[in-house]
Structure 1
Amino acid sequence: MEKIGVLMTTPMSNYLEQELAARFTLFKLWTQSCKNKFFQENSSAIRAVVGDTKCGADAELIDSLPTLEIVASYSVGLDKIDLDKCKDKAVRVTNTPDVLTDDVADLAVGLVLAVLRRVCEFDEFVKSGKWKNGHFELGSKFSGKSVGIVGLGRIGTAIAKRVEAFGCPISYHSRSEKSHANYKYYTNIIDLASNCQILIVACSLTEETHHIVNRKVIDALGPSGILINIGRGAHIDEPELVSALLEGRLAGAGLDVYENEPEVPEQMLGLNNVVLLPHVGSDTEETSKAMADLVIENLVAHFSNKPLLTPVI
């Protein structure tokens, strides 16, 4: 398959890059100084695109590749792929579900603990030598607090199972009630936020869930509430979140994703009640390799005329 052209849209994983290069003719879009010239010279050779949550495959990219057959996402998310365009062009789409579920769920719980127990503040308190000279403000317990989860898919369900161990009452909001779930279901997110102390966003990003957490939701969560986002940055109206934190209308937040990554609202950088991570929900060595292997296996299956392991389209 070394003559089959595969386009990586952005840096993702050194291991993935090496494995793609070993099996296919690999093109790296981010290294091209003149993309128009690059596509003129190579578009007909590219039969696959590998993208992620930063740069997937929009309509313009798909239209520029006349022999494109498959888009493989190095992520469970599909919001950076124009699925309608792929359907129109009969381009297959795959992603990497399941392999990252545990890591993201683990991190969600870690963010809750970090915010409530002020882990980052206390780390700095010790390392800076302040412990020798003064007292520290107390954090808040996690166990027993009511938790609301936005989106009860694979990741949301995995988060709920972990939260159960802390003795937390769990409720959720999603497009429909889940028959397998024994948690309280709310038909709208405002009611969910009004009835929980910790709100965790774990849904997929669609037109309907864009800014699903707005001022009304934040105010419903209230000045004692904690907001955690391990979904997508655009789930939250960021300016409204910033103002709520600055005005004390929200107690704290733990974020792994942002609207304009890698840009983070500057006003949040100095807030002690906010824990900020650089979109590392699934970035462990084990999961990164497993995701890369799944991308490779899907591409090999496609070009060998075998069923895809994780087909989307």
Structure 2
Amino acid sequence: MKIYIDENMPHGESFFESFGEVITFSGRDVTAEQVQDADILLVRSITKVNQSLLALNSNIQFVGTATIGTDHIDIEYLESRNITFSSAPGCNKISVADYVLSALLVVVEQRQLTLLNQTVAIVGAGNTGTAVYDCLTAIGVNCLLYDPPLQKAGDPRSFCRFEEVLAADVISLHVPKTMVGPYKTLHLFNQSVLEKLNPQQILINACRGEVIDNKALLGLAIEKKVPTLVLDVWENEPDIDKQLLPYVTLATPHIAGYSLDSRARGTEMLYIALCEKLQIPVKLKSTDFTEQSNISDITLSGDLTPELLKSLVHLIYDVRRDDALFRKKVNEVNGFDNMRKNYPERRELSTLTVLTPNKRQVSPQMIDLKKIGFTVKNK
């Protein structure tokens, strides 16, 4: 059995070598000729799996994407050929929540705001949006959820109207890319919507670049009529409109969900799915291969203040590192993809164990460290 795996999928060989021969490939450049003898094909979001890619392959049994989104997969085509498909829903939700928190802590400090005084509208209340909601509400931030499909499906949570989204201090986008239909997200934030926002607001996009009309955004940015921008995703990746960069406060190359832990979790989820298909026992997990973080524990002796929270978060992940690296490398040949390919190791907040005083001596804010994402233990 031949298993073709995107080279950016951590622990791929360790997870799948027992199934057969493991062959890695470049996700952006893979061709039909390369994968014509694949029995198993495992990709990430930059590889479009469709009839064109699989035209020369008559033996493929299983296709998996180690990502939440599936808009790069022609699922109907796979179904027509009876090819089993699996994705990794929720694999990077924690990583994205860490990204949003890190970015917000930077922006509110730059603007001399207090995070607790901000209302955050979360557009998209699936796995990722919910993780962002849980993280921010654990700090005490007032969060609104907007998700018409889930609301219509009977989700019991409280949802807001789109008008309330546009009035929020912070808008954080976490929807899939949907091209058509009543809940289309393509250019959900188009010219007319963007014109309703103001420079006092903060707009974060960590889902899909096409959710915001980048051309319209640039035009308004030039006129200084846009919110503070945090953009991890862009239209036309990797050939993004670099003219937009000077107007973006924090800019990164689609790495919000790119922690080592989240990517390893995605690989593990595909391993489990393949085990189920082949009806063999699951013997491995990502923690078998993922090393301990360089900074594994820290001791707190007092209450958790906003300043201390910022220090703890940025001790593990400071988004400014990725922003600076991106601006340095984006003009290089293949700069966007090369940064993703050679992305510096980044861990999640959960890899830091915070040792706290006995619970009876601790304020509720400190106990919430666990809900924010850290591992918490009593001394």
What are the Cα deviations for residues 85-117 of structure 1, in whole angstroms up to 9, with x where unaligned? Answer: 112111111111233221111212222232332
Identity rate, percent: 19
SS of equivalent to 1:175: helix
State the distance in 2 between where 1:292 and 1:53 align: 13
SS of equivalent to 1:253: strand
**Structure 1 stretches lacking a partner, 5+ long:** 119-137, 308-313
1:306 CA displacement:
8.1
State the distance in 1 between where 2:150 and 2:220 align: 29
1:33 CA displacement:
9.1
Which range moved further: 63-72 or 138-147? 138-147
1:264 CA displacement:
3.5
1:24 CA displacement:
2.4
Instruction: Tell me the residue number matched to 2:2.
Output: 5
Instruction: Tell me the residue number matched to 1:256.
Output: 232
Amino acid of the residue matched to residue 174 of structure 1? P
Matches within 5 A, 1:16-27: 16-21=12-17, 23-27=19-23
Amino acid of the residue matched to residue 237 of structure 2? E
Instruction: Tell me the residue number matched to 2:268.
Output: 293
Matches within 5 A, 1:142-157: 142-157=115-130
Kept in 2: contact 1:6–1:24 (CA 8 A)? yes
What are the Cα deviations for residues 95-144 of structure 1, in whole angstroms up to 9, with x where unaligned? Answer: 112332211112122222323323xxxxxxxxxxxxxxxxxxx5333222
State the distance in 1 between where 2:188 and 2:100 align: 18
1:82 CA displacement:
0.4
State the distance in 1 between where 2:24 and 2:220 align: 41
Kept in 1: contact 2:116–2:142 (CA 8 A)? yes
1:32 CA displacement:
12
Instruction: Tell me the residue number matched to 1:89.
Output: 81
Deviant stretches of 4+, over 6 Å: 31-34
What are the Cα deviations for residues 117-174 of structure 1, in whole angstroms up to 9, with x where unaligned? Answer: 23xxxxxxxxxxxxxxxxxxx5333222222121111111121122222332424233
Among 169, 175, 179, which residue is 1:197 paired with? 169
1:55 aligns with 2:47: yes
Q: 1:34 to 1:156 in 2, by over 3 A?
A: closer
State the distance in 2 between where 1:32 and 1:79 align: 15
1:305 CA displacement:
6.9
State the distance in 2 between where 1:144 and 1:34 align: 48
State the distance in 2 between where 1:93 and 1:35 align: 19
Amino acid of the residue matched to residue 304 of structure 1? Q
Instruction: Tell me the residue number matched to 2:295.
Output: none
1:238 aligns with 2:230: no
Instruction: Tell me the residue number matched to 1:133.
Output: none
SS of equivalent to 1:50: strand
What are the Cα deviations for residues 6-37 of structure 1, in whole angstroms up to 9, with x where unaligned? Answer: 223x432342245435542233443999946x
State the distance in 2 between where 1:110 and 1:275 align: 11
Instruction: Tell me the residue number matched to 1:134.
Output: none
Instruction: Tell me the residue number matched to 1:128.
Output: none
State the distance in 2 between where 1:240 and 1:219 align: 9
Instruction: Tell me the residue number matched to 2:146.
Output: 172
1:284 CA displacement:
1.9
TM-score between the two structures when normalised by the length of structure 1:
0.78
Query: How many residues matched?
Result: 275
Instruction: Tell me the residue number matched to 2:192.
Output: 216
State the distance in 1 between where 2:234 and 2:261 align: 24
State the distance in 2 between where 1:286 and 1:297 align: 16
State the distance in 1 between where 2:97 and 2:188 align: 20
Q: 1:88 to 1:254 in 2, by over 3 A?
A: same
Question: CA RMSD of the aligned region, Å?
Answer: 2.7
Kept in 2: contact 1:147–1:199 (CA 8 A)? yes
Higher relative contact order (CA 8 A, sep 6+): 1
State the distance in 1 between where 2:98 and 2:117 align: 18
Q: 1:279 to 1:52 in 2, by over 3 A?
A: same
